[in-house]
Structure 1
Amino acid sequence: MASSDILLSVRDLRIAFHGVEAVRGVSFDVRPREVLALVGESGAGKSLTARALLGMAPRGATVNGEIRLDGSPDLAAARGRRISLVPQDALSALSPVHPVGDQLAAAVRSVHRVSRREARARAVAALDRVGIPDAARRARAHPHEYSGGMRQRAVIAMATLNEPDLVVADEPTTALDAERREQVLRVLSEQREAVGAALLLVTHDLDVVRDHADRVLVMYAGRTSELGPTHTVLGQPRAPYTAGLLASLPQDGPRRRRLPTLPGTPPAPGELPPGCAFAPRCPLATDHCRSEEPETRELDGRLVACHHPDRIPDDTATLFEEEQPA
């Protein structure tokens, strides 16, 4: 594990397609053993950002900026060894023609010079650790013979098998029901802690962030909207976009008013409005917002990109709720 205060440093990350930027100058750090969540609506750039760390940006993408692991910009040798991925779609991540145990054993031998027998033993042990029943027998099965939850556990086993320093989990609970989601997150948390890894968690689920993340980076239109400790950002947001995401969450207790929703949709890359990209959807937007993009600045223990961060009420729902007829 890294001995420094910063495990991963990302500075001014920009990802473009045919000259159009989809990620626009994102910067953040990941500390040893911490959980940093990347949050935002579809198209915010969070998965692009995460996959750039693994050299897995889509074909045709141009990636610029600085990415350093333990201060080194050479990540080629670290990928698959010190940085690993838990993908969104476990089925497509596993080869359909090879037994699951063989695939895990191959991952072991890609990093460690061990015999096939030893690699196989490590693969079975990894499946057992993530709760696959009768792991020795299941290791001989193919992915289509696993349930969805078991496949997700298998890819978590593969991602943590070689004890990486950083695990990137790209929407690992998408399309899972609440019970299975909690099971997968529990397994991921247990395995991450067992190997001492940090976690970069890509998700759209703020409840997951609240329960599992130390810090949160809220992205909008390819840019940082807000970044800070989870309890600070979600407890008292200073970016209207963060406030809108929170306001849209179902609340416990009796419902006395209609659930607020964020109006409109995020702009597509290359179709950004002038000024702040969120201004067309923001109830606090002024002419200044619509003409000048806000700089990212430090405020109340977090970074925020907004011209009017002090105007957000404690009850974030009031920003976006509509007046109801009497």
Structure 2
Amino acid sequence: MRSEPVVEPVVEPAVEPVVEPVVPEPGSPPAPPPLAVRDLRIAFGGGVDRVEAVRGVSFDVAAGEVLALVGESGAGKSLTARALLGMAPRGAHVDGAVLLSGSPVTAAHRGRRIALVPQDSLSALSPVHPVGEQLAAAVRSVRKVSRREARARSLAALDRVGVPAARARAHAHEFSGGMRQRAVIAMALVNEPAVVVADEPTTALDPDVQDQVLAVLAAQREATGAALVLVTHDLAVVRQHADRIAVMYAGRIVEHGPARPVLDRPRAPYTAGLLASLPDPAAARKTRLPALPGHPPAVTDIPPGCAFAPRCPHTTDRCHVEVPALRALDDGRTLACHLEHPA
């Protein structure tokens, strides 16, 4: 007796309503940005053992804009990035506000309105499921669509980042590092989030592959209009891809403003020190690179006053006792430094 073939029931894709653009009334307040961070603080422990790893970070990111968070290891960049998605480490005490278009971020927003491009693509992808299947599962986790529609969306997302449809059946270990990073970009963007957080997305990739991955990320951001927070220590990447830059040190933003002015004429001594330590292609080959003295402080041992004071060449007595407030300058940037006319 012949058995009838099993036919997967057809589930009609959810019809997404067409939303007409809202034209604000004259004099009405502007729409909130896709991402707004207000006085973000992340601490560990309690009582006398309480330590703050992120201390009062605030910024906005507009639609289609790239904000780069830069600084040395331990500055609090990745911890800030994770907190934007509600993914702070277990045991962390998070205060302040992270707002998506004016609404507090929740776990339900991850993958739908805000998404992460992680640093380690191999750990981010399942080793036992084909890459295309993982993207389809990401689609179905936030959209009521059939498996067929989810597969179609996943293949389209992979195609947009340059991964051939035939590779959708491959597993993560069968991809090169660059192809894996393209796959996690596709996964982050498959549901067209309004905000994308890319945490060191080119770590451990060679320069050519880095350029390819960043070009893919830029093209997808331009196509979708997503706001992008780019976490990196590579100032060359920042110069090429960022609209604005926030320089972090010891859990605080010490300089924040349009990328080109900050990079061409840094006002914070820490920013100036970072830029001075970059290789100069025009310099003689045996020229010794200047380096910032000392090391960033551990979160358990942040000095009083300005945290950068022990390493700063322009320090005064005030710097060792008073934490500098982040103040607005007349050129559109903000700065945390006691110097009256820094840099």
Question: Same-fold call, TM > 0.5?
Answer: yes
Q: Tell me the TM-score range normalised by the shorter chain.
A: over 0.9
Residue 17 in structure 1 maps to residue 9 in structure 2: no
Is the 2:38–2:59 Cα contact (8 Å) retained in structure 1? yes
Residue 131 in structure 1 maps to residue 158 in structure 2: no
Rate the CA distance shift 1:128–1:309 in 2: closer, same or farther, 3 A: farther
Report Cα offsets for 1:2-39 as digits up to 9, x if no partner: 98252211111000111210000111111111000000
Is the 2:268–2:335 Cα contact (8 Å) retained in structure 1? yes
Please point out which of 287, 306, 310 is paired with 2:337. Answer: 306
How far the C-alpha of 1:309 sits from its partner, in A, is 5.5
Residue 7 in structure 1 maps to residue 34 in structure 2: yes
How far the C-alpha of 1:66 sits from its partner, in A, is 1.2
- Indicate the residue corresponding to 1:148 in structure 2: 177
The residue identity in structure 2 corresponding to 1:251 is D
- Indicate the residue corresponding to 2:14 in structure 1: none
> What root-mean-square deviation, in Å, do the aligned CA atoms of Structure 1 and Structure 2 show?
1.5
Q: What's the TM-score once normalised by structure 1's chain length?
A: 0.92
Please point out which of 275, 295, 298 is paired with 1:265. Answer: 295
Is the 1:239–1:309 Cα contact (8 Å) retained in structure 2? no
Is the 1:32–1:197 Cα contact (8 Å) retained in structure 2? yes
How far the C-alpha of 1:106 sits from its partner, in A, is 0.3
Equivalences for residues 99-248 of structure 1 within 5 A = 99-133=130-164, 135=165, 137-248=166-277
The residue identity in structure 2 corresponding to 1:177 is D
What are the ranges of 5 or more consecutive residues in structure 2 without an aligned counterpart?
1-20, 23-29
- Indicate the residue corresponding to 2:15 in structure 1: none
Give the secondary-structure state (helix, strand or coil) at the position aligned to 2:310: helix
Give the secondary-structure state (helix, strand or coil) at the position aligned to 1:56: coil
How far the C-alpha of 1:252 sits from its partner, in A, is 2.5
How far the C-alpha of 1:74 sits from its partner, in A, is 4.5
Residue 297 in structure 1 maps to residue 297 in structure 2: no
Report Cα offsets for 1:17-71 as digits up to 9, x if no partner: 1121000011111111100000000000011101101111111111111111111
> Between Structure 1 and Structure 2, whose CA radius of gyration is higher?
2
How far the C-alpha of 1:203 sits from its partner, in A, is 0.2
Cα separation, 1, equivalents of 2:210 and 2:122: 16
Cα separation, 1, equivalents of 2:342 and 2:181: 42
How far the C-alpha of 1:270 sits from its partner, in A, is 2.0
Report Cα offsets for 1:175-203 as digits up to 9, x if no partner: 11110100000011111111111100000
How far the C-alpha of 1:254 sits from its partner, in A, is 3.0
How far the C-alpha of 1:76 sits from its partner, in A, is 3.3
Rate the CA distance shift 1:44–1:74 in 2: closer, same or farther, 3 A: closer
The residue identity in structure 1 corresponding to 2:267 is R
Is the 1:100–1:139 Cα contact (8 Å) retained in structure 2? yes
Rate the CA distance shift 1:291–1:78 in 2: closer, same or farther, 3 A: same
Please point out which of 115, 120, 124 is paired with 1:89. Answer: 120
Report Cα offsets for 1:264-310 as digits up to 9, x if no partner: 00000120111100000000011111111111101121000001152
Is the 1:8–1:67 Cα contact (8 Å) retained in structure 2? yes
Percent sequence identity over aligned pairs: 72
Report Cα offsets for 1:114-154 as digits up to 9, x if no partner: 11011111111111111113x2x211111111111110000
Residue-pair matches, total: 310
Is the 2:155–2:168 Cα contact (8 Å) retained in structure 1? yes
Residue 79 in structure 1 maps to residue 110 in structure 2: yes
Rate the CA distance shift 1:309–1:130 in 2: closer, same or farther, 3 A: farther
What are the ranges of 5 or more consecutive residues in structure 1 without an aligned counterpart?
313-326
How far the C-alpha of 1:311 sits from its partner, in A, is 3.7
The residue identity in structure 2 corresponding to 1:265 is H
Cα separation, 2, equivalents of 1:142 and 1:68: 35
Is the 1:5–1:32 Cα contact (8 Å) retained in structure 2? no
Is the 2:86–2:105 Cα contact (8 Å) retained in structure 1? no
Is the 2:268–2:342 Cα contact (8 Å) retained in structure 1? no
